């Protein structure tokens, strides 16, 4: 499992600003992302010049596929690993910069709808995963971690909750592996289902943001559908991420009450510590654009910078997904996660379809 | 996202979390665009 957790995130306390050690991995991310972009362009131009029709496979999918091929067929040298783990750092930079492409009114409207749906999604998901955990007789703390991971934001939420409820390393590894494996599956199934249902960009983006757990996978799943869907997916996922502190706090209080975790001394400090700061950055950027701080070409440049940051993220998603390591984690947590995720995907799809009828998304 | 390896480890804490660094870097990039250090970013 070490390989999954080591690639899955960068430890915030020893973050990647140790510049030299991350250079090889970042170059690998950039190389894969750029190769994806070149492949998309070359295939499209070949099809045009030879008057052939090929399905348009976007750079997002190419970057993920190349990453997947590398991580599942080769052994990635240690030299690259700390750099590869920076993909989450680039994801957050990309999200903050993406705020520039949202008019504040859209953030308030879509963010408001997202928040309302997020509250329903979190409540039902937590109840559902807890029930499934009991049915499948998983350890209670593993059930808590799976519930937090599937209701809010995947790996980050699991890591935040792990410390707060004093869970075992093994439990968090199980939960992370299950969430990552299911996130990888969602990447390929969500767009196919949405195309089958002829969903519009906004509805699909909302569904991807609400239904796919890990922020990187939710961003990629949105972008795989369309650029506009990718934007909405990030907004919906950001609204979901904003709830992390409240849910983890509730679990910390619950486990402390049972004498199995440290007491929370200051709730406000706890909430601030767990609150994802990039959500504030995203809102700030949208606010600055709303006040016409940037010209139109500058806003376009900020949007492009965000795309470059996401390009590295998508390469990281592929590189981080190692099916062999995931398969070693045992079947029961995966089954609980899979059953829960399918039900949550159905629930969120229903919520989005309902919201579309009410608000005309 | 903020994490909490916190009190149990004796590692020296960085002044900012990864999240905060991401926001800082993004703002620096935005300023570079605003003041034309990055004139036009292509895609």
- A277 contact B CB<8A: yes
Mark residue B36 as left, alpha or beta (left: phi above 0; alpha: psi -120 to 50; beta: remaining). left
CA A144 – CA A162 distance, rounded (Å)? 9
In the prediction, which pLDDT does A14 show? 47
Q: Which residues in chain B touch residue A88, judged by CB atoms under 8 angstroms apart?
A: 18
Question: Average pLDDT, whole number, for chain A?
Answer: 84
CA-based nearest distance B3→chain A, Å: 5
In the prediction, which pLDDT does B9 show? 46
Hey, are the CB atoms on B17 and A164 less than 8 Å from each other? no
Q: What is the phi/psi pair of residue A137, to 5°? A: 55, 45
Contact between residue A9 and residue A15 where contact means Cβ atoms under 8 Å apart: no
CA A103 – CA A99 distance, rounded (Å)? 8
This model of the complex carries an ipTM of: 0.76
Q: Nearest to residue A335, comparing CAs of A72, A129, A184?
A: A129
Please report, rounded to a whole number, the percentage of residues in chain A having pLDDT higher than 90. 31
Question: Domain spans of chain A?
Answer: 18-359
Check whether A154 has a pLDDT greater than 90. no
Contact between residue A311 and residue A40 where contact means Cβ atoms under 8 Å apart: no
What are the structure tokens assigned to A308, written together?
A: 């470059």
Of B11, B19, B33, nearest to A301 by CB-CB distance is B33
The chain B residues in contact with chain A (CB within 8 A) are 1-6, 8-9, 11, 13-14, 17-23, 25-27, 29-30, 33-34, 38, 40-43
In the prediction, which pLDDT does B12 show? 59
- A276 contact B CB<8A: yes
Give the residue-averaged pLDDT of A336-352. 89
Which class for A340: exposed (0-12), middle (13-18), buried (19 or more C-beta within 10 A)?
buried
Give the residue-averaged pLDDT of A129-140. 87
In the prediction, which pLDDT does A352 show? 92
């Amino acid at each position: 499992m070490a390989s999954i957790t080591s690639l899955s995130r960068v430890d915030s306390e020893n973050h990647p600003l140790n510049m030299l050690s991350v250079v090889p991995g970042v170059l690998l991310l950039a190389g894969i992302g750029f190769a994806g972009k070149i492949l998309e362009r070359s295939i499209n131009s070949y099809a045009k010049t030879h008057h052939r029709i090929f399905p348009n496979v976007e750079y997002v999918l190419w970057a993920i596929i190349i990453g997947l091929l590398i991580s599942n067929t080769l052994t990635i040298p240690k030299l690259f690993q700390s750099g590869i783990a920076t993909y989450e750092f680039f994801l957050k930079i990309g999200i903050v910069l993406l705020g520039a492409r949202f008019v504040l009114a859209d953030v308030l409207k879509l963010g408001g709808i997202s928040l309302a749906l997020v509250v329903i999604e979190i409540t039902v998901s937590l109840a559902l995963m807890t029930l499934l955990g009991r049915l499948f007789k998983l350890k209670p703390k593993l059930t808590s971690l799976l519930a937090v991971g599937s209701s809010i934001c995947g790996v980050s939420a699991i890591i935040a909750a792990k410390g707060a409820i004093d869970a075992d390393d093994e439990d968090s590894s199980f939960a992370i592996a299950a969430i990552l494996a299911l996130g990888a599956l969602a990447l390929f199934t969500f767009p196919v289902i949405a195309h089958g249902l002829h969903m519009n960009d906004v509805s699909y983006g909302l569904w991807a943001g609400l239904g796919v757990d890990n922020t990187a996978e939710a961003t990629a799943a949105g972008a795989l559908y369309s650029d506009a869907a990718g934007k909405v997916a990030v907004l919906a996922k950001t609204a979901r991420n904003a709830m992390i502190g409240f849910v983890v706090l509730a679990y910390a209080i619950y486990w402390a009450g049972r004498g199995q975790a440290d007491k929370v001394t200051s709730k406000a400090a706890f909430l601030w510590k767990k609150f994802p700061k990039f959500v504030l950055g995203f809102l700030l950027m949208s606010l600055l654009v709303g006040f016409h701080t940037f010209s139109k070409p500058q806003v376009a440049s900020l949007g492009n910078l965000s795309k470059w940051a996401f390009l590295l993220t998508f390469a990281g998603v592929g590189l981080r997904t190692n099916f062999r390591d995931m398969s070693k984690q045992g079947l029961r947590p995966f089954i609980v996660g899979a059953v829960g995720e399918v039900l949550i995907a159905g629930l969120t799809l229903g919520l989005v379809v309902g919201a579309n009828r009410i608000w005309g998304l | 996202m903020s994490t909490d390896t916190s009190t149990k480890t004796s590692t020296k804490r960085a002044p900012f979390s990864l999240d905060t660094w991401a926001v800082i870097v993004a703002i620096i990039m935005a300023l570079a665009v605003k003041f034309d250090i990055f004139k036009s970013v292509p895609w």
